Amino acid sequence: MAKAQPVRGTHDLLPDDFAAHGEVISVARQTAATFGYREMATPIFEFTDVFARSMGETSDVVSKEMYSFDDRGGESITLRPEYTAAICRAFISNGLQQNVPFRAFGAGPMFRYERPQKGRQRQFHQIDIEIIGAPEPAADVEVISVGAEILNRLNVLHKTVLHLNTLGDPESRDSYRAALVAYFNDHRDKLSEDSLARLGRNPLRILDSKNEDDRRIVENAPLFGDYLNQQSQDFFGTVLFGLDTLGIAYELNPRLVRGLDYYTHTAFEFVTDALGAQGAVIAGGRYDGLIGQLGGPATPGIGWAGGIERLAMLSGATGDAPRPIALIPIGEDAETEALKIGQALRRDGFIVDQAFRGNLGKRMKRADKLNAAAALIFGDDELAKGVVQVRNLTTGDQSEVALDGLARALADHEGSRV
């Protein structure tokens, strides 16, 4: 190997990138917590069947994008392409049926083999919330409002538009499916090979086709809203009323669908064109049939996932870099004492940097390069008096401070504590 490079579609999260990701996750975590969502994590890999059953054998993710392999025991294993199925599997495996409504927040890496592009990698990262065991439309309002509040706290809500649609209940979906099959059968000769394969199994997936010929046919396809029964209309009306009450703006998008049969009622996406081509930064929906499909008891659920890379780019998140306290000992005795001073300050929560070599000038240059908040300068004279010289590297002011009062004297240095 001539030059060490990351695998295509992956990238290193260097400290600044990691801080930006951390800022998005921190805002999302804190916001979700105010709604009662508790953080959890699932394994990065699952049995392949968890995702094949939940996402559908004919979906692009399952058929073309999953990282699946046989482990040493001969089991088919898949790296996690999304969080919802994994959390639902955990709900079943851990017998959490008595804990409904179960509210979960998660964040972590996902894996899909697709063409890398801006904001989309083969290893990417998502935040995710799910509420399981709540059939009421108020749950739909809640999860959407969590997403809106996270975007608001990231100061990007105004850069997005909430697209909203309803997929109705199973009865409405069956009626729509029949109408869709009849329509597409009349245009079989113009459908792509992929769409013809989906026509018998999952005709709603044709509505997501990127093929230009398919898209022209889809333009005149029946609309879901024309096949909703009264119960489905009432459910969606309650969701819209709740969003109106909260002042969350939305646009109805009758072409926004989810292809899998376990999706019902509300489907939504927060989309933006601020990153180039229009794309979703948060997308979700209600999946009342998923847990039953995974082998658990019939249990309703709704949730969404958001792309951390895209949210970080959209928000310009940088993650405030810490401003450490720089220790600058002069002389061997001071070097030894610096070990104890650093330990005491770190136990008080300060970020402390100590260079291992260099004279006073070189160490001060290092402190400036690190954007340190203060430099503690001390040699034999200071140690004899039990003091250090504290130089404020923002103002340039310098004062003598007793060692036993050092933590109090440094308390006002912004960004120097964790």
What is the predicted pLDDT for the residue at 57? 56
Half-sphere exposure of 20 (CA within 13 A, CB side): 17
Note whether residue 208 is domain-resident. Answer: no
- Nearest-angstrom CA–CA distance, 139 and 130: 10
Note whether residue 191 is domain-resident. Answer: no
Residue given tokens 């136990």 in the structure block: 347
Same domain membership, residue 389 and residue 296: no
For the entire predicted model, the pTM comes to: 0.87
Same domain membership, residue 92 and residue 233: yes
Note whether residue 25 is domain-resident. Answer: yes
Note whether residue 260 is domain-resident. Answer: yes
Note whether residue 221 is domain-resident. Answer: no
Look up the CATH number of the domain holding residue 337: 3.40.50.800
- Give the β-pairing of 325-329 and 374-378: parallel
Note whether residue 223 is domain-resident. Answer: no
- Nearest-angstrom CA–CA distance, 390 and 377: 6
Note whether residue 5 is domain-resident. Answer: no
Instruction: Look at the chain and report how many structural domains it folds into.
Output: 2
Note whether residue 281 is domain-resident. Answer: yes
DSSP state of 296: S
Which residue, 315, 349, 378, sits at the end of a domain?
Answer: 315
The first and second tokens of residue 34, run together, are: 């105010």
Q: Domain containing 361: what range?
A: 325-410
Which residue, 315, 349, 377, sits at the end of a domain?
Answer: 315
User: What are the C-alpha distances in Å from 340 to residues 101, 344, 381?
Assistant: 50, 6, 17
Same domain membership, residue 113 and residue 256: yes
- Per-residue H/E/C for 252-269: ECCCCCCCCCCCEEEEEE
Same domain membership, residue 284 and residue 247: yes
Same domain membership, residue 37 and residue 153: yes
Look up the CATH number of the domain holding residue 102: 3.30.930.10
- Nearest-angstrom CA–CA distance, 373 and 393: 6
Half-sphere exposure of 2 (CA within 13 A, CB side): 0
The first and second tokens of residue 65, run together, are: 């994008």
Same domain membership, residue 157 and residue 37: yes
Same domain membership, residue 342 and residue 291: no
Same domain membership, residue 330 and residue 303: no
- Angle separating helix axes 230-246 and 137-153, nearest 10 degrees: 30
Same domain membership, residue 129 and residue 71: yes
Same domain membership, residue 160 and residue 20: yes
The first and second tokens of residue 158, run together, are: 């105004």
Same domain membership, residue 160 and residue 265: yes
Same domain membership, residue 380 and residue 271: no
Low-confidence ranges of the chain (pLDDT < 50): 1
- Nearest-angstrom CA–CA distance, 106 and 270: 19
Query: For 210-227, what is each residue's pLDDT tens digit?
Result: 888 888 998 888 988 899
Kindly report the backbone phi and psi dihedral angles of residue 306, in degrees, each rounded to the nearest multiple of 5, phi listed first: -130, 140
Among 229, 304, 296, smallest CA distance to 266 is for: 304
Which residue, 282, 315, 348, sits at the end of a domain?
Answer: 315
